[in-house]
Amino acid sequence: MKGKHRTASLKLNPLKFLDKLSLSFNDSKPAQLNGLITTIVTLIIIHFFIVENIELIYPSNIFQLLVVYSAIVGGTFSGLNSAGIIFLYSAFVLSVPNQIFNYTAESFQRLILVSSTSVLTALLVGYLKRLLVISLKKQTKAENLQEITKALSKSERQYRLLFEQNPQPMFVIEKNSLSFLAVNQAAARFYGYSKEEFLRMSLREIRPPEDVPKLLQYYAKMKISSGSGVQPAGTWRHLKKDGGLVYVETAWGPIHFEGEQAVLIAISDVTSRHELEERKNEFISIASHELKTPLTTIKGYVQILENYSKDFSDQRVIGYINRVNQQVDRLNNLVSDLLNVSRIQSGKFEIQKEVFNFSELATNIAKDFQQMTPEHQFECIIEPKVQVKGDEFRLSQVISNLLSNAAKYSPANTKIIVRLSRLRKRALLEVQDFGIGIAKKYQDKIFDSFFRVGVGNHQAQAGNLGLGLYITSQIVKKHKGRIWVESEESKGSTFYVSLPSVV
């Protein structure tokens, strides 16, 4: 815009200038070229103004200026190179008869003087320049260090303030001894200890004694590096000063504390949430057990009715009995799922491992499903004698849940493929259907408890609580396995289960 002018100031950094101007003892190609040009100019001046005895005022000064220029621009080596050329050329001139080079005694003296003083000048200039560069570098480093120190001091004050005033309990511990190095005010209030008391304690002392071995094992495996970032550490039990037991979720990150590497830990009190979970699990467990008893009774009477149904002439009565039987089975499965979820979430879900033929189990379950759901075609591609070490009953639940899902979400008269193979010392089970598929956004959530994907009317037809895949994933996890899905909407899904196999 008119009427407004910008002014800029150019600050010259001598260190950068010399670094660019000089490469010292490490001559680059541009510096070597410069030295070569200087040498040629030097030879021309020697020949015409000394050897040819052409009068020149103070020629030695010109030669020394050329040497100084070469030493500054090209480095000490180039300066010595130019001075050396003068010296060598002098020797050459002296070695030939005087008739060829018509030099006088005075020009000869000038030649010797220029040669010797040029060599000394090159050495002196190179030495002084190196001293200047080293001095400037030290000065710059000191200034930079001072600026960095100020910035770090300011940053440390800000972070200490953030640590001290944070409403979330936080503390810093030494990794090996687990001793407290620093504690914020929120942590002191939460646990009931003063900061001075905390600094005389270690992390072991706020854990129940029975949890200490697990704590030590966790920190022994902890890998701390500058790139670790914040890591969740799960839920732990902690003890307050008054003996009260609390449940906390923890997260940690590596920090440098007073020059040493340490661990910063932040905690969140989840005691109330844990108590609600405990009550929910207790209710589900009691309700499920209470439902099991009448269901068993109803199932027994239905089976008695089925035996008498052969004498019934009215087919509708037989149909009613079959439908009651199916609904009792369905309700029984739901109750079993609720019991399993309750056991899983309370840590009481146990498995009994033994080696068995996984191929035979998969084949038999697929045949059973073929009889129960004749509207689908079950194709088995199963490698024989694949053995695993696990709970046969629980793994049969895995296969059954996957086949049941495939049948529920696939149209009639479609194929369901069951594959089992051994791959790199692992058993790989695949269940593929050609049904409605699963949207990409749901594929990471389908193994969560009580998660149900709503797709048109299919979910209503399925009529489940969204527990089957959750239980399946937990059983697989208990066997140190992995489960995942690949799916595309309207084209079908393939569920994969990878388990350690026995060779």
Query: Do 354-502 and 166-269 have the same topology in CATH?
Result: no
Is the separation of the CB atoms in 402 and 422 below 8 Å? no
Give the model's pLDDT for residue 202.
93
CATH class, range 354-502? alpha beta
pLDDT in tens, 308-338: 777 766 778 788 888 888 888 888 888 888 8
Q: Give the model's confidence band at 438: pLDDT under 50 very low, under 70 low, under 90 confident, else very high.
A: very high
Q: Specify the higher pLDDT residue, 275 or 483.
A: 483
What the block records as the tokens of 124 is: 């002196």
Q: Is the pLDDT of residue 219 over 90?
A: no
Q: Is the pLDDT of residue 79 over 60?
A: no
Burial of 234 (0-12, 13-18, 19+ CB in 10 A): exposed
Classified by CATH at the fold level, domain 274-345 comes out as: Helix Hairpins (1.10.287)
Local structure of 460: helix, strand or coil = helix
Mean of the pLDDT values across residues 396-415? 91
Residue 96 to residues 92, 113, 332, 474: CA-CA distances in angstroms? 7, 19, 120, 100
pTM (whole model) above 0.75:
no
Q: What is the identity of the amino acid at 223?
A: K
Sign of torsion, CA 444 446 452 455? positive
pLDDT category at 15 given cuts 50, 70, 90 is very low
Query: For the segment 176-205, what is each residue's pLDDT rounded down to a tens digit?
Result: 889 999 999 999 999 999 999 999 999 999
Can you tell me the distance from the alpha carbon of 360 to that of 486, in angstroms, rounded to the nearest whole number? 25
> Taking all residues of the chain, what is their mean pLDDT, rounded to a whole number?
76
Q: Are 476 and 398 in contact (CB under 8 A)?
A: yes
Tokens at residue 174, please? 């030494």
Q: Evaluate if residue 373 carries a pLDDT over 80.
A: yes
Q: Is the pLDDT of residue 292 over 50?
A: yes
Average pLDDT for residues 255-279, to the nearest whole number? 85
pLDDT over 90 (residue 6): no
pLDDT of residue 185: 92
Question: Dihedrals φ, ψ of 303, to 5°?
Answer: -65, -35
Q: Are the C-beta atoms of 416 and 404 separated by less than 8 Å? A: no
Mean pLDDT of 42-64: 48
Question: Is it the case that residue 459 has pLDDT exceeding 60?
Answer: no
What pLDDT score was predicted for residue 297?
Answer: 87
- Spatial separation of the C-alpha atoms in residues 62 and 56, rounded to whole Å: 10
Predicted confidence (pLDDT) at residue 18 exceeds the cutoff of 50: no
Percent of the chain with pLDDT over 90: 33
Q: What is the pLDDT of residue 333?
A: 82
Query: Which tokens is 442 given?
Result: 């749901």
**Is the per-residue pLDDT at 100 higher than 50?**
no
Token digits of residue 199 = 């600094």
Residues 6 or more apart whose Cβ sits within 8 Å of residue 482: 476, 496, 497, 498
Give the whole-angstrom CA distance, residue 446 versus residue 90. 92
| Residue 433 burial by Cβ neighbours in a 10 Å radius (0-12, 13-18, 19+) | buried
Q: Where are the domains of the chain?
A: 14-142, 166-269, 274-345, 354-502
pLDDT given for residue 387 in this prediction: 95
Most confident of the ranges 42-46, 426-430, 434-438: 426-430
State the CATH architecture for 166-269. Answer: 2-Layer Sandwich (3.30)
Helix%, strand%, coil% for the chain, nearest 5: 55, 20, 25
pLDDT at 288: 77
Cα-Cα-Cα-Cα torsion 495, 496, 502, 503, nearest 10 degrees, comes to 120
CA distance 349 to 342: 8
Who wins on pLDDT, 45 or 465?
Answer: 465
**Structure letter (DSSP) for residue 448:** S
